[in-house]
Structure 1
């Protein structure tokens, strides 16, 4: 039997089984089943809402899917939980992607709001 489905059957009996959740999430990601992985990550986050690894996985999947606003919101949470140059830069980069996405769509007012937010956070960063 496929290990993925074996872990799913474990989760049916024990939905909070952290090992099974992690394995299902990682297998879904490795199989490019990103939507399914997001569902399982959300279930795992209900049990451990500040789990940095789960949040980072969710952020990466959302970014891959072009959902920069949601990814940036998670990056902001990670920056709050674990303040570092890396988490701050990740948040900053996602907000810039979000603003560029708005600009490409012709939503210039929305792009400007995001750019202003980025400038308040990092006024000396002159990335394009």
Structure 2
């Protein structure tokens, strides 16, 4: 799956829909669970490599192009720790997001912001 292709864009749209639904319920999911949910919708996205990190970054950028909205990728966690991977924190600290809290505070704040933001949808 390559960025910019119809296949990628369809997977991205489905990922955003899945994550918005999870945000409303403040219900994180593992990379494996997200991969399985995407597979149920016809998209082959391995949980640990390939398009997954790009799709997560693009889903976040789509929902928060100027960095002011909460970061959808905060909902995707590692099974072993129940927390996001290092890629989430790297993304959160880059422009335009520029989050500066420590990891625990940043993640908790994003989960709260996601729940509030998407609860009204």
| Common topology (TM > 0.5) | no
Q: Which has the larger radius of gyration?
A: 1
Higher relative contact order (CA 8 A, sep 6+): 2
TM-score (norm 2): 0.36
TM-score (norm 1): 0.35
